[in-house]
Amino acid sequence: MVGRLNPYKNVDVVLEAWQRHVGGGGWRGDDLVFIGDGPIMERLLPKHTSWHAGTYRYRDVVTTLASAKGSIAHYRRASQSGVQVMSMQLGVMPVVSPIGGLPEYQPPGCPPVGIDDVVGLAATFDQLADPVTAARRGAEAAHHYAQRCNVDRVADRLLDVIFEVAPELVGRV
């Protein structure tokens, strides 16, 4: 999990699912890593979690993010979905709730997990714990990003919308 770790980021459900994952048969020795600041992190974290507290710059964490098996944006309320898009761009499968990430942005193969679905979230952690599965899903996420979210694609779509709304601009932009 990356960013300001506010209560809406659903940390309690994520930690409960992580503990279920670690205690089950799918855990492969990985850690759940939190990067950022926030009042929610003033608690003691369970085993196999770590927290890199404080503010950060993208360049300082990009290597860590790109090497992750998954990225969590399993929030209780809508966000900008920046973590979701950044994860796909880096070839990391985002794990989102139907509200915290944009379901229409989510790559196939890892559908949104219900906000309070601890069992479903733990199952997703179990799947991504396998390095082969994580690599395949990461490649799917990167492909999905390239097909739907890259700059050229988004700019073309934005121009389509502008020309649809203001056809008099065709040929001027």
pLDDT in tens, 139-150: 999 999 998 887
- pLDDT of 103: 79
Local structure of 49: helix, strand or coil: strand
pLDDT at 173 over 70: no
Structural contact between residues 145 and 42, judged by C-beta atoms closer than 8 angstroms: no
Please tell me what DSSP assigns to residue 46: P
**pLDDT tier, 40 (very low <50, low <70, confident <90, very high otherwise):** low
- pLDDT of 149: 80
- pLDDT of 169: 80
Q: Evaluate whether residue 54 is within a structural domain.
A: yes
Q: Evaluate whether residue 47 is within a structural domain.
A: yes
Can you give the CATH number for the domain in which 83 is found?
A: 3.40.50.2000
User: What is the mean predicted confidence (pLDDT) over 143-172?
Assistant: 83
Span of 74-78, 109-113, 135-139, 168-172 with lowest mean pLDDT: 168-172
82 CB-near residues (< 8 Å, 6+ apart): 3
Q: Evaluate whether residue 119 is within a structural domain.
A: yes
pLDDT at 167 over 80: yes
pLDDT at 42 over 70: no
What's the number of domains the chain is made of? Answer: 1
User: What is the mean predicted confidence (pLDDT) over 6-28?
Assistant: 94
Please give the single-letter amino acid code of residue 53. A
Q: Evaluate whether residue 155 is within a structural domain.
A: no
Q: Evaluate whether residue 163 is within a structural domain.
A: no
Span of 16-30, 35-49, 72-86 with lowest mean pLDDT: 35-49
For all residues of the chain together, what is the average pLDDT? Answer: 89
- pLDDT of 155: 79
- Nearest alpha-carbon partner for 1 in 80, 72, 60: 72
Q: Evaluate whether residue 154 is within a structural domain.
A: no
What is the DSSP secondary-structure string of 62-128? HHHHHT-S-EEE--SS----HHHHHHHHTT--EEE-TTTS-TTTSPTTS----TT-HHHHHHHHHHH
Which structural domain range is residue 114 located in? 7-144
Q: Evaluate whether residue 31 is within a structural domain.
A: yes
Q: Evaluate whether residue 2 is within a structural domain.
A: no
pLDDT at 115 over 80: yes
